[in-house]
């Protein structure tokens, strides 16, 4: 499956400092997405691990993710690169995402996530539509919780 780009944003009432504190709490964020588990901080705002577990068609996927954080500008932007492999189903997952916070003054903050993901191996044989549905569900969960925690407007 070729790389697929995604982009989504949400306006929230919280200020950038509050958004930053919530959106850089990786164990908290992992709890927001149902297919992620076991977040572990190795080095704050640099290196983490988590486990991606899901069923896609006949395959039960379990990939240990290595998560690297870069391009950190406190209260403005952060890049997250995650990659993992499930050797039992011969599949690999890569996600590269940039989260930006734009201060909108008294009305709050615009939270935007732009990036790309790639799924290869047996899981990719399930088809781009199925994988795209899973990716959309993950983004829906993330932005739904962002709105709930930071006051979507």
In the chain, where the domains are located: 4-150
CA proximity to 95, closest of 62, 71, 65 = 65
pLDDT of 57 over the 90 cut: no
pLDDT tens digit string along 84-125? 999 888 899 999 999 999 999 999 999 999 999 999 988 888
Q: What is the dihedral of CA 20, 23, 25, 29, to 10 degrees?
A: 170
User: Whole-structure pTM over 0.85, yes or no?
Assistant: yes
Partnered with residue 127 across adjacent β-strands are none
d(CA 81, CA 98): 9
Supply the DSSP string of 37-65, one letter for each residue: EEEEEEETTTEEEEEEEEEETTEEEEEEE
Mean pLDDT of the chain: 93
- Of the spans 2-6, 22-26, 88-92, which averages the highest pLDDT? 22-26
| Class (C level, CATH) for 4-150 | alpha beta
* Contacts of residue 30, Cβ cutoff 8 Å, sequence gap at least 6: 36, 37, 38, 39, 50
Token pair of 21 as six digits: 């504190």
pLDDT band with cut points at 50, 70 and 90 for residue 1: low
Runs of H (alpha helix) within 8-109: 16-23, 26-32
d(CA 99, CA 114): 7
Report the relative pairing of strands 47-56 and 36-43 from DSSP bridges.
antiparallel
């Amino acid at each position: 499956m070729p790389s697929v780009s995604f982009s989504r944003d949400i306006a929230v009432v919280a200020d950038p400092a509050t958004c930053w504190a919530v959106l850089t709490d990786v164990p908290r964020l992992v709890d927001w997405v149902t297919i992620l588990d076991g977040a572990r901080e190795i080095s704050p705002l640099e290196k983490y691990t988590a486990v991606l577990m899901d069923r896609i068609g006949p395959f039960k996927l379990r990939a240990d993710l290595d998560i690297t954080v870069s391009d950190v500008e406190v209260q403005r932007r952060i890049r997250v690169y995650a990659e993992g492999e499930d050797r039992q189903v011969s599949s690999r997952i890569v996600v590269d995402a940039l989260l930006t916070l734009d201060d909108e003054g008294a009305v709050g903050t615009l939270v935007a996530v732009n990036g790309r993901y790639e799924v290869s191996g047996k899981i990719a044989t399930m088809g781009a539509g199925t994988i795209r549905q899973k990716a959309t569900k993950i983004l829906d969960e993330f932005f739904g919780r962002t709105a709930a925690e930071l006051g979507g407007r």
